[in-house]
Amino acid sequence: MKFHFNPTEGLIIVRAELIGPAASGTAQMALDTGATRTVVRSALLKAVGYNVEAAPESVEIATASGIERAPICAVDGIFALGLDRTALKVLCLDLPPAAEVDGLLGLDFLRGSVLNIDFRLGRLSLEV
C-alpha cells in the first residue's frame, strides 16, 4: 500500500486504529524506525479498555528525561498502514503533553514487511 506524508514536516504521522476489550479508538502515531517497540499513550489504552496499572509485565526504558518503568499491554489489535497486528505487546507510556502524537509505531509493528520511504516525493509504501 502507498501513503503520502508531508516531507517538510518533522514527523511522519500515521493514523492508526487501536482495538481494545471495551472499545476501539483512533490514534495519531509517529512512524519511528528508531524505536524497537511500539508505544501508546496510557490514556488511550485506558479509553479502549485496558487496565494499565494491572499490566502483568513492565520494562525499564531510557527516555529523554531519564530511566522510566513502562507497563506492557498486549493489545487486541492495531491497524495502520494497511497492516493489522493482533496481540502486539505495546509499551504504555505517558508522553509529554506537548507531544503531538498518541504514540510511536516501532519496528515490532513493521517486522515482516518491506518499508520504503521517499522523502523527495513524500511517499511511503509498505508491502507484506
The number of distinct structural domains making up the chain is 1
How large is the average pLDDT for residues 32-47? Answer: 94
Residues whose CB is less than 8 angstroms from the CB of residue 124 and which lie 6 or more positions away in sequence, other chains included:
2, 3, 5, 12, 31, 81, 115, 116, 117, 118
Is residue 66 scored above 90 in pLDDT? no
Specify the CATH number for the domain of residue 18. 2.40.70.10
Reported as a pLDDT band with limits 50, 70 and 90, residue 18 is very high
* pLDDT tens digits along 21-39: 999 999 999 999 999 999 9
- What pLDDT, on a 0 to 100 scale, did the predictor assign at position 68? 83
Which domain covers residue 57, as residue numbers? 2-127
Residue with the bigger pLDDT between 30 and 1: it is 30
